[in-house]
């Protein structure tokens, strides 16, 4: 029998058993850390931040699936077995949740909503925080992949001037494309709101740093919904406290959960959420993984394979 090992904390793994049984009744599902299993009985593995070295103990593993879009939690293991294919979760519903998160926070900043919230808390009728001009809220998207492109297109449709920065040049209607290190400064110079939607790789780690912030216009705003490893948190706090940046929204952090000692918790100009910008829904994703495994069993190619040389 084909066997799938699910490698997430048992409390989350339990959410997967019923939908997996619905879409792949022919598959035996075992949960790491809960069920007994023989390592050589495992054909496929599905997880998010697996324990380092685990996959090397499974001699018959045919493919590994990331239940998130980001695969840094797999590739951070120096012993990750790169001869085994790794496929990530790419799905309209996940990208859409991310797009909603980005739109929400772009509009909150653009419409000065937090100032109105503070005025309301003091019972002030404060007709004094006009929204910025749409033409003057230039959005810059770091990472024009599945999610960055969807968010960029929707922001463009709301009439914001949008540009994207990626490794390779893009041609998306109405969105200016910048590519590579050589075009990064010009991209940052025109970005009043910088949205990070990059994968975390050795090239992008700490990319949101003091130098990057200095190249953004005075009063710029930063949204990081990608990975905490992209951001040098102390540099962000310093850039906000100096008055150069207007503020930030963070969904992801260098250490998760965010340590109680972090100044981010109480910073008046930082809005934070606990890595919930988008969450993989097992009721949707189980079908995607069942189809992927069925295809692989028939000798067909897997979708959304990670390129180990690029790191995403
Ligand atoms: P994709 O792989 O589809 O897109 C990645 C984009 O980043 C591509 O445009 C790529 O360029 C660009 N890129 C990669 N490396 C570089 C580099 N060195 N310089 C410039 N551009 C680079 O990823 P997704 O859009 O699916 O997801 C993005 C990230 O969002 C995920 O990796 C994950 O970390 C995060 N995420 C966070 C969630 C949350 O809840 N907070 C939920 C889901 C995802 P090119 O196109 O030229 O290859
Ligand atoms: C993802 C995530 O990568 O949820 O999908 O962070």
Can you tell me the distance from the alpha carbon of 76 to that of 72, in angstroms, rounded to the nearest whole number? 6
How far is Cα 141 from Cα 145, in angstroms, rounded to an integer?
10
Of the pLDDT bands very low, low, confident and very high (cuts 50, 70, 90), residue 10 is: confident
What pLDDT digit, counting tens, does each position of 214-229 carry? 999 999 999 999 999 9
- For residues 112-121, average pLDDT: 96
- Find out whether the beta carbon of 114 lies less than 6 Å from any atom of ligand 1: no
Pocket of ligand 2 (CB under 6 A): 68-70, 278, 280
> What is the distance between the alpha carbons of residues 279 and 271, in angstroms, rounded to a whole number?
19
Mutate to test the pocket of ligand 2, among 8, 48, 67, 228 (most ligand atoms within 8 A of CB): 48
In degrees and rounded to multiples of 5, residue 229 shows phi and psi of: -65, -10
Residue 132: per-residue pLDDT: 86
Q: Minimal CA–CA distance to 254: which of 267, 235, 268?
A: 235
Atom of ligand 2 nearest to the CA of 70: 3
* Per-residue pLDDT, 29: 97
Ligand closest in space to the Cα of 274: 1
Ligand 2 center from residue 92 Cα (angstroms): 13
210: confidence class by pLDDT, cuts 50, 70, 90: very high
What spacing in Å lies between the alpha carbon of 201 and ligand 2's midpoint?
14
**Could you tell me which of 173, 102, 104 has the C-alpha nearest to residue 140?**
102
- Catalytic residue positions, numbered: 227, 275
Comparing CA positions, the residue from 306, 299, 224, 292 lying closest to residue 23 is 292
Interval 129-157: pLDDT, tens: 988 899 999 999 999 999 999 999 999 99
């Amino acid at each position: 029998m084909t066997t799938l090992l699910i490698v997430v904390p048992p409390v989350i793994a339990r959410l997967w058993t019923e939908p997996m049984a619905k879409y792949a009744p022919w598959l035996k599902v075992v949960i790491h850390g809960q069920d007994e299993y023989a390592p050589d009985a495992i054909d496929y593995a599905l997880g998010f931040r697996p324990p380092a070295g685990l996959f090397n103990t499974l001699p018959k593993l045919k493919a590994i699936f990331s239940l998130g879009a980001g695969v840094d939690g797999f590739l951070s293991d120096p012993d990750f077995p790169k001869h085994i294919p790794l496929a990530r979760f790419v799905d309209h519903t996940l990208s859409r949740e991310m797009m909603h998160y980005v739109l929400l926070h772009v509009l909150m900043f653009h419409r000065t909503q937090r100032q109105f919230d503070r005025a309301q808390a003091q019972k002030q009728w404060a007709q004094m925080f006009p929204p910025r001009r749409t033409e003057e809220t230039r959005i810059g998207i770091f990472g024009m992949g599945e999610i960055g492109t969807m968010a960029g297109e929707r922001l463009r449709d709301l009439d914001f001037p949008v540009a994207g920065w990626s490794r390779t040049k893009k041609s998306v209607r109405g969105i200016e494309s910048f590519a590579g290190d050589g075009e990064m400064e010009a991209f940052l110079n025109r970005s009043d709101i910088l949205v990070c939607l990059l994968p975390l790789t050795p090239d992008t780690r700490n990319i949101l740093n003091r130098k990057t912030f200095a190249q953004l216009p005075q009063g710029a705003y930063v949204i990081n919904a990608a990975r905490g490893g992209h951001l040098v948190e102390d540099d962000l706090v310093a850039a906000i406290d100096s008055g150069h940046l207007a503020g930030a929204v963070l969904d992801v952090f260098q250490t998760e959960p965010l340590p109680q000692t972090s100044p981010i918790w109480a910073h008046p100009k930082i809005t934070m959420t606990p890595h919930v910008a988008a969450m993989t829904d097992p009721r949707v994703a189980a079908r995607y993984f069942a189809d992927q495994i069925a295809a692989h069993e028939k000798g067909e190619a897997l979708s959304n394979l990670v390129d180990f040389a690029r790191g995403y």
